[in-house]
Chain A
Amino acid sequence: MINEIGHFALVLALGLAAAQALFSLLGAAQRNLTWMTIGRRAAYLQFFALTLSFAALTKAFLVSDFSLLVVAENSHSAKPLIFKFAGVWGNHEGSILLWVLILALFGAAVSRFGRGLPTTLQARVIGVQGLIGLGFLAFIVATSDPFVRIFPAPLDGRDLNPLLQDIGLAIHPPMLYLGYVGFSMAFAFAIAALLEGRVDAAWGRWVRPWTLVAWIFLTGGISLGSWWAYYELGWGGWWFWDPVENVSFMPWLTGTALLHSAIVVEKREALRSWTILLAILTFSLSLIGTFIVRSGLLTSVHAFAVDPERGVFILLLLAIAIGGSLLLFAWRAPDMKGGGLFAPISREGGLLLNNLLLATATATVFIGTLYPLIIEAINGAKISIGPPFYNQTFVPIMLPLLVAMGIGPLLPWKRGDMAKLAGRLKLVLLLTLFVMGLVYWQDREQLWPMFGIGLAAWVIISALLELANRVGLPKVSVGNAWQRAKGLPRAAYGMTLAHIGLAVAVIGMVGSSFWTEEFIGLMKPGDSQEVAGYHFKLEKMEAFQGPNYQARRAVVTVNASDDGGYVMKPEQRLYPVRKQNTTEAAIRTTFLGDVYVTLGEVQKDGVVLRISFRSLIPWLWMGALLLVLGGLLSLSDRRVRVAAPAAGKRT
C-alpha cells in the first residue's frame, strides 16, 4: 500500500512540476500575480509529493520489501541498517529520485526565501526549475520507475555492491547531487535574467549565495569521493582522472569560475554575459555528468544500469536543456553590454584571469574525457587517456592560476598601482623563497616539491598579508587592528580561508606524489619490516565473521622513535552474496602523513603486505575541509543573507 502511495505521489509530482513551470512562466510573461502564486504553491506541493515518494521508497529499503524490484536487486536482509538506508540511492532508480527530490527542494527554497526578489524574476526562476523537474520526472516515470513490483517476491535480495557499503559512500552521492542540482539555481537565475532582459549588481548578489551553496556541497562531495577511493580501493591513490571523477570536477571548475565572476557583476556590473554563460555551462556540465555516469556510456562502479533506452532519453533532455539555453543566450545576451573601464592590473582583471584559466582547465578535462569517445565514433580508433596526459596538460594550467591567486587579492578594484603592488609582492616573494629554501634543504634530489610547495606558500603568505593589510597592520596598533578585524565582513575571512585551503590541499598533493615511501612484500607471522623510520611486525592473521561478510585481517604492530607502539589491522572481506572482495586499509594519521597498510594476496608461505608512508596526505583532506569552511563562512556573511531582500525592495 505504501509503495502504491509512493508511486502515486511520484506521478503527481510530474503533474505538479508541469503546473509549476506553466503557471510561473506564463504568469511572469502576462504579469499575472494569481498565476505566479499558483506556480509558487506548486513548487511547495511538488517538493511535498516527492518527499512522500522518497519516504515510501526508503521504508521499502528499511523493511527489506523484496516485492519491489530495486530493493530485491540492491539490498539484503542481513545488511547493516545504515547501508539499507544508503542503499536507497545506491542504485539507478533511487539515485535519480534523490536527484529530483533535491531539485524540488531548491525549487521550494526559492519560493520560500526568494520573497525579496522582483516578483517576475522569482516566478521565472521557479518556472525554469519546474521545467528541469518536469524533464527528469518524465524520465523517471518513463524509464526508471523505482516502484516496479516483482512476483513472486524473492526470499532475499542480491545485496548492494560491497564497495558501496561504506560510510563515506553513504554520504558522497547526496552531497554530490546537492552540488550538481544546486547549480540548477544559478542556471535558472541565468535563464530568468535572459528572459527578463536585465542583469545588474543585484542579480549578481542574488545568484552568489545559491552558487556558493552548490559549490560547498560539490566540494564536499568530490572530496568525500576522493577520500573514499583513498581508503577503500587499497592503493592509496586519491584521484585517478577517471571519467566519472572528471565529470564531477568540470562543474566544480566552472562553478568556481562562476563564484568569482559573479563578484565582478556585483561590484562592477561587468562580465555580465560571460557570467550568464558560465551559469549555463556549469549546470550543463552537471547534466552531462549525470548523463555520462547514468547512461552507462562509461561503465564503472557508478553506472548502475547500462540501458540504451535511458541513455537516449537523457541525451534528448540534455539536447533540449543545453541547446535551448544556449540559443536563448545567443539571442538575448548581446543586449547585455556592461559599461565602465576595465583595466588588466586591477582586482577585476585578476578575477578575469582566474576565469580564463579555469575555463581552459575545464576545456582540458572535457577534451580528455570525451576525446576517446569521439575519436572512436569517427574512425574506430581506441585510445586511452590517463593521468600522464593530465599531468602534462592540466597541471601546467594550474601553476599560473596559483601564481595569480597570490597576486589577485592584493589588487584594488578599478585601477591597480604597479609600484605599490610590487612593494607588497616583494615581501611575499621573500618569504616564499625562504620556504622554498627549507624544502630544498629537506629534499635535494628533486626540484618539483620545492616549486609545488613554494607556490602553495606563495598563496598562503599572500592571503595572510592581504588580511593583515585589511585590518591596517602594520600601520596601526594591535588593539586597533583587532577592532578592525572584528568589523571585517565574514566573506573576507571566507575568501582567505578558502584560498589557504586550496594551497594546503596543494601541499598534500605535492607531498603525497613525491615523498611517499612504499614497501610491497611477502611476510610471514613474526617477520619485520622497516619503512620510513617505522618498524612494522606482522604478529598473526585472524579470521572473523561480519554481519554480511566474512573477513580476515593481519595484526601488525608498529613502532617508531617519535610515535609510540600501536597495532594496525588491515582487513580483507568477502561478501558471499555478490562473491566480491574488498580491502579495508588500516590507516594511522599523523601530522606529516599517513601510515597506510593494506593486506594483499594470501599465498602458501605468507601474506602480501603493502606498507606505505603517504607523505602529507592529511593536508589534502584538511585543505578540502578549509575550502568547505571558507565557503560556509562566506555564506554566513550578513551581507549575503540581508542583501537579497534589501535589494529586492529597492527595485
Chain B
Amino acid sequence: MIRALFIFILTVGLFQFSLAFGVSPDEMLDDPALEQRARNLSQELRCVVCQNQSIDDSDADLAKDLRVIVREQLLAGQSEAQIKSYLVDRYGEFILFRPKFSVHTLMLWIGPFVVLFLLLGGGIWFYRSRSKGVSALSDKEEQELSDILRVGSEEPK
C-alpha cells in the first residue's frame, strides 16, 4: 500500500498540466435527482469559449464556473427556464444549444417543415400528373376522338 501510494505521488508530479473531462466530482450535488437535472441542463448549454462543446463536456475554466452556477441556482430552487434566461442575460443567446424560437430563428425552426411540405407537395403533384397514365386524353382530344368514332359509326349508313 505504501509503495502504491509512493508511485501515485510520483506520477502526480509528472504532468505539467492535467486533463479533466467536464464535470468533476467536487462540483457534483449530493442529491442524485438534482444532479441529474444539472447534467441534463448542462448538456443544453454551450461552453462559449470552446468549439462546439457543452459545459458538461468541456474542461475549460469558464465551463467549470458555469457548471457551478447552474448547480447553485438549482439548489436555490430555480427552474431550468429561469437559469437559462439568467445565463442568456449574461452571455447572450450564443450559450443556448437549442436556440429560442424568435424572429431571427424563425427559418431555422420552420425551415425543415417548409422543405418537407414543399417536397410532399411536389410528390403529390408528381403522382397526380402520373396517375392518369400516358393514355389520358385532354378534353379537346376526347372531343376529337368521339368525333372520329361518330364519323366511323355513321359511315355504314
Contact = CB atoms under 8 A, between A and B. Distances in A.
B-side interface size class: 35 or more
Contacts of A359: 115, 119
B21 A386 contact: no
A325 to B, nearest CB: 20
B24 A300 contact: no
A334 interface: no
Interface string B56-96: 01000000000000000000000000000000000011111
Contact of A602 (B15, B51, B108, B111): B15
Contacts of A525: 1, 4-5, 8
A600 B92 contact: no
A378 B21 CA distance: 36
A421 B120 CA distance: 23
Given A387-B97, A539-B4, A382 B15 contact: no
Interface of A: 234-235, 237, 240, 242-243, 270, 299-300, 339-344, 349, 352-353, 356, 359-360, 363-364, 367-368, 371, 375, 378-379, 381-389, 392-393, 397, 520-522, 525-526, 539-543, 550, 552, 572, 574, 579, 581-583, 598, 600-602, 604, 608, 610
A389 B116 CA distance: 17
Contact of A520 (B15, B28, B97, B99): B28
Given A344-B127, A521-B25, A360 B119 contact: yes
A235 B21 contact: yes
B51 A384 contact: no
Given A342-B127, A383-B93, A384-B99, 16 more contacts: A237-B57, A300-B51, A356-B123, A364-B111, A371-B111, A383-B99, A385-B97, A522-B25, A541-B7, A572-B15, A572-B19, A574-B15, A601-B24, A602-B18, A608-B20, A610-B21
Contacts of A379: 104
Given A367-B112, A389-B97, A397-B112, A520 B24 contact: yes
Nearest to A356: B119
A300 B23 contact: no
Interface stretch (B128-136, B137-145, B149-157): B128-136
Contact of B7 (A385, A397, A521, A542): A542
B127 A367 contact: no
A583 B127 CA distance: 55
Contact of A383 (B14, B94, B122, B130): B94
B94 to A, nearest CB: 4
Determine the main DSSP class of A at the interface with B: mixed
Contacts of B52: 240, 242-243, 300, 384, 386
Contacts of A299: 51
Given A383-B94, A386-B46, A522-B26, A581 B17 contact: yes
B99 A389 contact: yes
Interface in B30-45: 43-44
B146 interface: no
A381 B93 contact: yes
13 contacts: A342-B131, A356-B116, A367-B111, A367-B112, A371-B111, A382-B94, A383-B93, A388-B97, A389-B97, A389-B108, A520-B23, A574-B16, A602-B11
B18 A581 contact: yes
A383 B105 contact: yes
A240 B44 CA distance: 12
Contacts of B15: 550, 552, 572, 574, 581, 602
Contacts of A388: 43-44, 97-98
Given A240-B52, A522-B25, A581-B17, A384 B7 contact: no
B108 A385 contact: yes
A50 to B, nearest CB: 33
Contact of B43 (A341, A387, A521): A387
Contacts of B23: 520
Contacts of A343: 127, 131
B148 interface: no
A375 to B, nearest CB: 6
Contacts of A539: 4
A117 to B, nearest CB: 29
Contacts of A242: 51-52
Contact of B19 (A352, A540, A550, A600): A600
Nearest to A245: B52
